[in-house]
Structure 1
Amino acid sequence: MTLQEAYNFFERLKTKTTNKAERKVYEKFAHVLSKLKSREFSKDEIQSIETELDRLNLDSTSGNSKKYLQKALRKFEKYLKDTFSLISKGYYTNLGIGLGSSFGILLGIVFLSDFERSLGIAYGVSFGMLIGLIIGRSMDAKATAEDNVL
């Protein structure tokens, strides 16, 4: 399946559905494909992307097309990240906030236990999320400067 065929496929699906959740998945996939179409790739790289689209079997959706296409979108984004170092907007920020809050809980339990336990955990999560946000934003800015953001 070529990039244009896949883009047209998701545009058709987007017009047919009335479900908001399905529409969001279709729009996200169409957005990624439109950004890929506007980038400069070699013939081999385009062939590789189209092979990956064929491997996802987008045409043969099962009974729950939303769930299947969400999974296919995650696989496709992982492929783009691993192969071409292309990430979605806010990727590192979301990752930083998640990891920061996880480590913040640990920080709150271990080091801030002098406060009431729930207060220590709350402070730890807050500090962890703040640190993760700062690191994630800086990494997103770096990726944007290197033109690796879809």
Structure 2
Amino acid sequence: MKTNRYVVAFAGVMFHLMIGSVYAWSVFTNPIAKQKGWAESSVALAFSIAIFFLGMSAAFMGKVVEKIGPRLTGTIASFLYGTGTIMTGWAIHQNSIWLLYLSYGVIGGLGLGAGYVTPVSTIIKWFPDKRGLATGLAIMG
């Protein structure tokens, strides 16, 4: 079965839209801080940790995507980000700021980095004649 490269591009954009939910963290910072009695800066630190781990894992995941393929790395990314998000709810329920940092920051951030690199590197391969368009489509999400 031959896959249309625009289907691959669309899937990459959708993947990026999903992991882009990380940027909604600022909407939750104040309510979490008020509900738990934590400082807003402490809650916001979880986002900073997530972005740090996004960058660190993205730096290394390019090689992994090349080695094991986008399906497996995309699955790993989805699992990590989803697990981090679920554990974030548990961390808030448990009133544990450190668990929040581990779940949203570290685990979710690792998933974000893997999820960011996977569609970009994959779409670029499907569009060797339009690398700029491919990168733009991938990042658009």
Fold-level match, TM-score > 0.5? no
Higher relative contact order (CA 8 A, sep 6+): 2
Q: Structure 1 length normalisation: TM-score?
A: 0.36
Q: Structure 2 length normalisation: TM-score?
A: 0.37
Q: Over alpha carbons, which structure has the higher Rg? A: 1
Query: Is the helix fraction higher in 1 or 2?
Result: 2
